[in-house]
């Protein structure tokens, strides 16, 4: 008997759960199912710029698991884009675990939904809120050029102590 899959930690359930090509009625489209954990892996690695190791720590799984989940999710998104299919987001093995957020202006750190557009800093009122992946000084910024091999890979301007 196979071992049950480990639940992956995700910051929140997506607000939008269906994407489809414009101009084609939904009933005429084939739908691909993208699991919530696949979307979270894509968000963490491709949007937030985290390494597979950092994404694995955020999701509470191994680096290899993140790689497999990411590969499956990317393949589904590519198939939908190339073949004109709808993407239905939902399901998968996941648990909701709020992420730490930080203010790029003052360095304040708190816990909440990772959608930065829905937050202002409770300390200074700034709208420059990001997911905080390593405490103050390591605010959730996309990596600069390159693929994370440099000395300061993954760090960006923002939180207290991170002046570049």
CB of 106 within 8 A of CB of 124?
Answer: yes
CB 75 within 8 A of CB 86: no
Percent of the chain with pLDDT over 70: 76
pLDDT at 149: 39
Q: Could you give the CA distance from residue 128 to residue 135 in angstroms, rounded to a whole number?
A: 16
pLDDT at 164: 28
Residue with tokens 């690695």: 45
Task: Work out the pLDDT band at 117, boundaries 50, 70, 90.
Answer: low
pLDDT > 70? residue 89: yes
Tell me the Cα Rg of the chain: 17
pLDDT tens per residue across span 23-79: 988 889 999 999 999 999 999 999 889 999 999 999 999 999 999 999 999 999 999
- Please, which pLDDT band fits residue 142 given cuts at 50, 70 and 90? very low
**Distance (Å, whole) CA 133 – CA 142:** 11
* Residue 129 clears pLDDT 60, i.e. is over it: yes
- Amino acid 134: pLDDT: 57
Angle at 44 between CA 38 and CA 50, to 5 degrees: 135
Domain ranges across the chain: 8-96, 99-164
**pTM for this model (two decimals):** 0.71
Which is more confidently placed, 29 or 111? 29
Nearest to 73 by CA among 55, 54, 60: 55
The answer to whether the beta carbons of residues 157 and 163 sit under 8 Å apart is yes
> Tokens representing 27?
């009933």
- The pLDDT score that the predictor gives to residue 114 is 53
Highest mean pLDDT among 61-70, 101-110, 114-123: 61-70
Domain 8-96 in CATH 1.10.10: yes
Q: Check residue 51 and give its pLDDT.
A: 94
Mean pLDDT on 159-164: 35
Apex 13 CA angle, 57 and 8, nearest 5: 30
């Amino acid at each position: 008997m196979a071992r049950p899959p480990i639940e992956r930690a995700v910051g929140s359930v997506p607000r939008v759960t269906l994407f489809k090509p414009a101009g084609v009625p939904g009933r005429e489209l084939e739908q691909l199912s993208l699991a919530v954990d696949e979307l979270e892996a894509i968000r963490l690695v491709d949007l937030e710029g985290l390494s597979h190791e950092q994404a694995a720590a955020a999701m509470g799984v191994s680096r290899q698991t993140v790689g497999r989940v990411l590969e499956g999710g990317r393949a589904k998104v590519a198939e939908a884009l190339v073949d004109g299919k709808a993407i239905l987001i939902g399901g998968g093995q996941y648990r909701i675990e709020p992420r730490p957020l930080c203010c790029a202006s003052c360095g304040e750190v708190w816990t909440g939904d990772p959608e930065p557009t829905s937050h202002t800093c409770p300390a200074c009122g700034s709208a420059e809120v990001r997911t905080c992946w390593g405490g103050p000084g390591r605010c959730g910024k996309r990596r600069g050029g390159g693929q994370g091999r440099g000395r300061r890979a993954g760090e960006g301007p923002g939180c207290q102590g991170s002046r570049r």
